[in-house]
Each structure stands twice: as structure tokens, then as C-alpha cells.
Amino acid sequence: MGRRSSGLIAALAALALAGCDAQSAPTSESGLETTQVTVVSKSGSHVLDAEVADTKEAQAKGLEGRDGLGPNEAMLFPNSEQTAQVFWTKDSTFPVDIVFIGVDGRVSNIVAMAEPNSPKQYFSVGSSSATLEMAGGRAAELGIEPGDQVSW
């Protein structure tokens, strides 16, 4: 029995380690998975490290309570329903650029420097497959405009 138990324990340990391979999605300090988002604009290709808010809870919280975002940081809000989207900046502490991404994977519209902690609502132009939030003013700095291609 001792050898069988040892063999079973070794097999279980091997299975557990196999589940922790290098292909696992990285996570942020907030516990959200992260991914790289690439925006191809007239000024070039820009890669952002984005936290993925892919649950209703994470999307409702968004960037609430954060002190800011770095120049190459963002939060991605995927939208499985691909409908028009509305965003607000309730309980946020810094301005953000809200980049709405159409179902064709292109930027449909940008709300630049959205006022922090505001009840104002910001709408996508048409149906949206995702929304990307980045530090206020960053979209203009990178030359991101409607029509630019976005992938992740």
C-alpha cells in the first residue's frame, strides 16, 4: 500500500504541475488575466498590456479605486453580445480615454479625457466587440483614431 500511495501521489503531483505550464495566462495584481492589445494606426503599431475585465463583476468595477495607468497599460472590456455599449467613470480618480472597438475589430469612436468620477454616460457608435480604457490623453499621444485596427 505504501508504494501505491507514493505512486498515486507522484502521479497527482505530475498532473498538477502539468496544469501550471508556461502557456497559462498571466495575471495582474488585481487578479485579472492580462493580454497584449495591439493597435495599428497611421503612426505605427502600438502594444499595450491590458487587464481583461471579462466578467460582469470585473466590468462593473473597471478602474474604480485605481490611482492611474502607466503609458502602456490599459483595461480591455470584451463584449460577447456585440451591441452598442455605454461607459461611465463612476468612482474613478483619473481621466481615461475610452476606445470603443467595433465588431469589425476597428476603432469606432474614442472618448478622450473622460472626466473622472462622473455620472456622465459615454456611448459607442454602433455595435461594439470590446472597449479599451487607457490613461487620459494616451490615444492622442499614440495617434490612435477611428478606423485603426485592434487585436488581442
Quick: pLDDT tens for 91-125: 999 999 999 999 999 999 999 999 999 999 999 99
Spatial strand order of the sheet with 73-78 comes to 107-114, 96-102, 128-135, 73-78, 44-52, 34-41, 149-151
Grid cell at residue 65: 479605486
**What CATH number should be reported for the domain whose range is 27-151?**
2.60.120.1140
Grid cell at residue 62: 473597471
Question: Domain extents for the chain?
Answer: 27-151
Q: What is the pLDDT of residue 25?
A: 66
Q: What is the pLDDT of residue 30?
A: 79
Kind and range of the H or E element at 15?
A: helix 2-18
Mean pLDDT for back-to-back runs of 10 residues, the chain (152 residues)? 38 40 62 97 97 96 93 96 93 97 98 96 97 98 98 98
Q: Which residues contact 82 (CB under 8 A, 6 or more apart)?
A: 103, 127, 128, 129
Give the integer Cα–Cα distance in Å for 150 and 130. 10
Grid cell at residue 77: 472590456
Give the integer Cα–Cα distance in Å for 93 and 20. 36
Q: Which residues contact 106 (CB under 8 A, 6 or more apart)?
A: 146, 147, 148, 149, 150
Grid cell at residue 52: 481583461
Grid cell at residue 85: 455599449
